[in-house]
Amino acid sequence: MNKLTVDIGNTSTKVALFKGSQLEWCKTFDNLVATELQMLMDVNNVNHAIASNVTSKSVEDFTSIKGLLLLNHDLKLPFINKYSSPTTLGTDRIALAAATQYFHKGKSCLVFDAGTCLTLDLVNAKNEYIGGTISPGLQMRLNSMHHFTGKLPLLAAKIPEVQIGTNTIDCMQSGAYFGMIAEIEYHIQALRVQYPDLQVLLCGGNAELLSKQLKSPLFVERNLMMYGLHLILQLNV
């Protein structure tokens, strides 16, 4: 049976098609509307779909689509939510926690999503979601340096050419990039003391940029959230 998973993010909307348990394709849209989603379902013979929305955009028009679930805290989840305020946990982080059960069920998992923000989510070997962290993403770090100062330029995220910059642009690129690398490595090393079996997963738009410098063993899957959404959809239809 064909299924669609939809990730409505802060920067763009991603849609993935699953045939059985196989991800066939994943496409990115600047602004997906209900009529376009309905067309994608019809063209691909999809009866069931699920959407995660972490933005302030209204998706009320999506509710008219037959067979579409909007991810919320009342759905069945493939993990035990131990977050102190479970109803405030973002649906993107719910999907990422679910994805750990797709790839490393029965082991402690640490998931990094390097998108607009850098999020960290921890699921232990008992299948319990513990919590995580949220910090500025790579582009957000560069944007904030420009926005909150008078003279620093606005730069696009990239792998810096040098670690120690000899000009303003190189200093900013290196500070943003290697600062995030150090943050990720710190969390991995610190949590491995408590969770020796820790599996590390990395996803998001900047996953490939960051993975080139990270030294800790990890599993990179840019579309990790789609697998989590698919697993949640399977549990609820």
Half-sphere exposure of 88 (CA within 13 A, CB side): 5
Give the H or E element holding residue 135: strand 128-136
61 catalytic residue (yes or no) = no
* Eight-state DSSP code of residue 126: T
Beta strands in the chain (DSSP E): 2-8, 13-19, 22-29, 46-53, 68-70, 80-81, 109-114, 117-123, 128-136, 199-203, 219-220
How far is the C-alpha of 91 from the C-alpha of 57, rounded, in Å?
14
Q: Find the catalytic residue in 7, 92, 113, 121.
A: 92
For the annotated catalytic residues, the residue numbers are: 92
